[in-house]
Amino acid sequence: MSFILIVGSGRVGSTVARNLLAAGHEVSVLDGDPLSHERLDAGQDSTWEGAGGRFTIGQAIERDALVEAGIESADVFIASTNGDNTNLTIAQIAQKMFNVPRVLVRVMDPARAEWYGAQGMETICPTSFAVDMFEKALDVPKGSA
């Protein structure tokens, strides 16, 4: 079991959070919008906290909010806000300021995802996945552009 901190509770962040909690991990979610909490509760039998999850309202970049959400003891840090630059910045904060052992960062822009990936960051680019899926669906040969 790991302690996982997820920053950004949108569609992706909230779903990953619920699945990880269901898989038996300790999960803390940080988001600036109190309404994002509803995504964690929607369609569930119990509330997020009732199921054992943690939720903190705060800005992703605020040190105090990150600490309150438990970054100091996190084993895994997931940056999944809707801003690439916010994600890339807080991911580096998690790595370099708080020494989180594993940091995953969502980057929508494939170019930046690739470059930061080459710098040693574990980037995940949904845009590239979508492009691949479309191309597979239409049988476009790889790299034909």
Which residues are at the interface with other proteins (CB under 8 A)?
61-63, 83-86, 88-89, 92-93, 96-97, 109, 111-112, 115, 119
> The tokens of 71 are what?
């970054």
**54 vs 87 by CB, closer to other proteins:** 87
When the beta carbons of 63 and 136 are compared against other proteins, the nearer one is: 63
Pick the closer one to other proteins by CB: 20 or 90.
90
For residue 17, the minimal CB distance to other proteins (Å) is: 22
Distance CA 53, CA 25 (A): 9
Give me the least distance between CB of 62 and other proteins, in Å please.
Answer: 7
Do 26 and 4 contact (CB within 8 A), yes or no? yes
Burial profile 78-117: b = 16 or more Cβ within 10 angstroms, e = fewer: bbbbeebebbbebbbbbbeebebeebbbbbbbbebbeebb
Minimum CB separation of residue 55 from other proteins in Å reads 23
**At closest approach, how far in Å is the CB of 118 from other proteins?**
9
Q: H or E segment at 28?
A: strand 26-31
Of 119 and 144, which has the nearer Cβ to other proteins? 119
